[in-house]
């Protein structure tokens, strides 16, 4: 596709060789002479990387082909690798319960903090992530097993999450006047819901962790962050950074420990407003078995996740066969799968949904 776009463009060398109006001398001109002047090397109509997503500032990257920048980064990462990591301790169920109570207590003040203040704190967190990139790269490599380019990309994704949610928060969390049919004043105002648990996986221990937490905080919620047991230091460093950026300690709490801590959240569900996680099978099954008898929504969510992981398993088993079948069979298989899914959905709506709804109403 890249070659097609390059060679198919009117300005490409291939197209110009067929254009009789282009002199041979112009074709033979060395490209380096064209861009030797800094004034002509950059097209002012094209935004710089920092401005690609204006008005949101794009995260700062590293050009690995530029030796000076790469060397400076490697030296900074090597220096950070010598520094001790944050102290980690495994929390107990009582610690988790205390964190829930503390988050509920901190929610009131944080939810009343203005959206502009919350957004500004997330933008400061983004700036600090860029400043401390070598520190997080060192942790991502030592604790998460990331390569250099993967670690840089993950820090950048965390930065983008903070700035994106700050931008969206400013847009959404403003008072919106509504029509008043009888002359009254009506205002639509978004608000936080309460205390929320954010359970993040080990494969993106900084990006997904930061994204979950930043979204909840921008919406005015208090957060209990539970990172994967394999990457506790990255999470601890991220939480410390968010506190440094201006997130109230009462609004953001960290609970460390193994997966058994995740089984504790349903016990406290009556005090929580949300439990978020990123496709973690043991956690989804545990939440499903704990919550399904109590709420129809939890039952539907549980069925969805069971189907999701079941489909992933099937695709993994038949992936080789699936990619080798002829095109006609490929599309017939798709049509048959869609038909089965449609029939299953209709049956669910006709029978199972009514039954579940009746059980919920009876309860």
DSSP 8-state assignment for residue 61: -
Of 37 and 363, the one with more pLDDT: 37
Structure tokens at 140: 């991502």
Residue 317's pLDDT is what? 57
Confidence of residue 356 (pLDDT cuts 50, 70, 90): very low
pLDDT of residue 11 exceeding 80, the answer is no
Assign domain 50-177+189-291 to its CATH architecture.
3-Layer(aba) Sandwich (3.40)
Reported as a single tens digit per residue, the pLDDT across 299-355 is: 445 455 555 555 555 555 555 555 566 667 666 766 676 677 667 666 665 665 455
Residue 205's pLDDT is what? 94
Q: Lowest-pLDDT range, 5-19, 63-77, 165-179, 284-298?
A: 284-298
CA torsion sign, 208 to 209 to 211 to 216?
positive
Of 263 and 155, the one with more pLDDT: 155
Reported as a single tens digit per residue, the pLDDT across 333-349 is: 666 766 776 676 666 65
Confidence of residue 258 (pLDDT cuts 50, 70, 90): confident
Residue 277's pLDDT is what? 75
CB 214 within 8 A of CB 200: no
CB 169 within 8 A of CB 108: no
Residue 33's pLDDT is what? 74
In a 10 Å sphere around its CB, with 0-12 CB exposed, 13-18 middle and 19+ buried, how is residue 28 labelled? exposed
> Alpha-carbon distance 267 to 171, whole Å?
36
Residue 265's pLDDT is what? 59
Confidence of residue 1 (pLDDT cuts 50, 70, 90): low
Instruction: Average the pLDDT over 258-266 and give the result.
Output: 64
Shortest CA distance to 74 belongs to which of 62, 84, 58? 62
Domain ranges of the chain: 2-46, 50-177+189-291, 295-363
pLDDT of residue 363 exceeding 60, the answer is no
> If residue 3 lies in a helix (H) or strand (E), which one and from where to where?
helix 2-8
Instruction: Average the pLDDT over 34-46 and give the result.
Output: 72
Residue 292's pLDDT is what? 52
Counting residues of the chain whose pLDDT is more than 90, the rounded percentage is 43
Of 319 and 178, the one with more pLDDT: 178
3-state secondary structure of 277: strand
Non-local (6+) Cβ contacts of 284 within 8 A are: 277, 302, 305, 309
Confidence of residue 182 (pLDDT cuts 50, 70, 90): confident
Residue 148's pLDDT is what? 95
Residue 298's pLDDT is what? 47
Reported as a single tens digit per residue, the pLDDT across 94-152 is: 888 889 899 999 999 999 999 999 999 999 999 999 999 999 999 999 999 999 999 99
Q: What is the mean pLDDT of the chain?
A: 81
Confidence of residue 206 (pLDDT cuts 50, 70, 90): very high
pLDDT of residue 32 exceeding 70, the answer is yes
Residue 267's pLDDT is what? 56
The edge-to-edge listing of strands for the beta sheet with 195-199 is 252-254, 222-226, 195-199, 274-277
């Amino acid at each position: 596709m890249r070659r097609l776009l390059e060679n198919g463009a009117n300005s490409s060398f291939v197209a110009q060789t067929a254009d009789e109006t282009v002199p041979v001398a112009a074709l033979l001109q060395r490209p380096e002479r064209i861009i030797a002047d800094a004034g002509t090397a950059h097209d002012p109509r094209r935004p710089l990387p920092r401005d690609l997503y204006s008005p949101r500032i794009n995260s700062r990257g590293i050009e690995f082909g530029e030796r000076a920048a790469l060397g400076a980064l490697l030296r900074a990462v090597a220096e950070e690798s010598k520094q001790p990591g944050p102290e980690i301790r495994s929390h107990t169920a009582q610690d988790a319960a205390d964190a829930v109570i503390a988050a509920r207590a901190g929610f009131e003040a944080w939810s009343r903090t203005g959206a502009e203040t919350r957004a500004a704190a997330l933008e400061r967190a983004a700036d600090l992530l860029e400043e401390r990139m070598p520190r997080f790269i060192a942790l991502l490599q030592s604790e998460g097993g990331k390569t250099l380019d993967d670690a840089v990309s993950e820090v950048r994704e965390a930065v983008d999450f903070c700035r994106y949610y700050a931008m969206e928060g400013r847009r959404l969390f403003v008072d919106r006047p509504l029509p008043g049919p009888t002359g009254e004043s009506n205002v639509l105002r978004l608000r936080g819901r309460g205390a929320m648990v954010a359970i993040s996986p080990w494969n993106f221990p900084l990006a997904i962790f930061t994204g979950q937490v930043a979204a909840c905080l921008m919406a005015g919620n208090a957060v209990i962050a539970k990172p994967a047991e394999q990457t506790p230091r990255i999470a601890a460093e991220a939480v410390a950074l968010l506190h440094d950026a201006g997130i109230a300690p009462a609004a953001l709490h960290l609970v460390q420990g193994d997966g058994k801590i995740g089984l504790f959240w349903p016990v406290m569900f009556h005090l929580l407003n949300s439990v978020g996680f990123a496709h973690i099978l043991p956690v989804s099954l545990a939440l499903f078995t704990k919550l399904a008898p109590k709420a129809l929504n939890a039952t539907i969510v549980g069925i969805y996740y069971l189907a999701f992981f079941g489909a992933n398993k099937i695709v993994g088993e038949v992936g080789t066969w699936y990619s080798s079948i002829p095109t006609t069979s490929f599309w017939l298989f798709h049509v048959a799968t869609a038909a089965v899914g449609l029939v299953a959905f209709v049956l669910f709506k006709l029978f199972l949904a009514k039954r579940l709804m009746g059980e919920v109403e009876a309860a």
